[in-house]
């Protein structure tokens, strides 16, 4: 059975854990380097990217995760997780795990009050998926090696090799399409 790590410092952890279980996989709460041993994929949840990034540096997990990325560990960042994976954060340097060739802008839709839900058709999934945006970032530039999987006015889901990022929260809906895509098509 596949073991899927969920970075568990802060943010939407339990919701991802439930979805991983619903896919018939074993969720692993990841808070320190040893927790990463033997995971087949890693989810970086939404929350506050600055807080999660700080923990990644303080615990030394930043270096371990970058090393595992080199070895091909599949990863998926949702919202704050996507920010952490970005090579460039507009006006703010780079993400703590700059693995994804995109430029992202934090809180680009406005404040918490500007959070919203939207149904979006995703050709690669052949499904209309419910997308929940909470103080979401916007992907404002995409490298030529990055595949855009879903889009509103700007890309909202991108894939580069084994690194998936969504600016919304599939774990907060009753659908399983994105978790199933990550586990079946990215982790494999």
Q: Name the residues annotated as catalytic.
A: 79, 169, 171
Does 47 belong to an annotated binding site? Answer: yes
- Which residues contact ligand GLN (rule: CB under 6 A)? 46-49, 79-80, 83, 106-107, 134-135
Helix locations, the chain, DSSP H? 13-22, 49-58, 61-70, 80-84, 177-181
172 vs 176: CA distance, rounded Å: 10
Write down the least CB distance from residue 38 to ligand GLN, Å.
Answer: 27
User: In the complex with ligand GLN, which residue's Cβ is closer, 39 or 134?
Assistant: 134
Which residue's CB is nearer to ligand GLN, number 41 or number 137?
A: 137
* Closer residue to ligand GLN, CB minimum distance, 68 or 82: 82
Query: What is the C-alpha to C-alpha distance for residues 185 and 188, in angstroms, rounded to an integer?
Result: 5
Q: Which of these, 56, 60, 58, 48, lies nearest to 10 by C-alpha position?
A: 48
Tell me the binding residues for L-glutamine. 47-49, 106, 134-135
């Amino acid at each position: 059975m596949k073991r899927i790590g969920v970075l568990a410092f802060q943010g939407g952890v339990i919701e991802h854990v439930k979805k991983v279980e619903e896919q018939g996989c074993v969720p692993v709460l990841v808070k320190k380097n040893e927790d990463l041993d033997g995971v087949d994929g890693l989810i970086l949840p939404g929350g506050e990217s600055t807080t999660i990034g700080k923990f990644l540096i303080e615990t030394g997990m930043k270096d371990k995760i970058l090393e595992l990325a080199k070895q091909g560990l599949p990863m998926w960042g949702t919202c704050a997780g996507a920010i952490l994976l970005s090579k460039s954060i507009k006006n703010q340097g780079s993400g703590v795990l700059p693995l994804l060739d995109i430029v992202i802008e934090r809180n680009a839709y406005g404040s918490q009050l500007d959070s919203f839900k939207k149904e979006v058709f995703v050709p690669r999934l052949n499904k209309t998926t419910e997308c929940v945006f909470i103080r979401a970032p916007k992907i404002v530039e995409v490298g030529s090696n990055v595949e855009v999987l879903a889009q509103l006015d700007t890309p909202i889901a991108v894939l580069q090799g084994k690194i998936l990022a969504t600016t919304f929260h599939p774990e907060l809906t009753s659908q399983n399409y994105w978790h199933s895509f990550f586990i079946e098509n990215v982790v494999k």
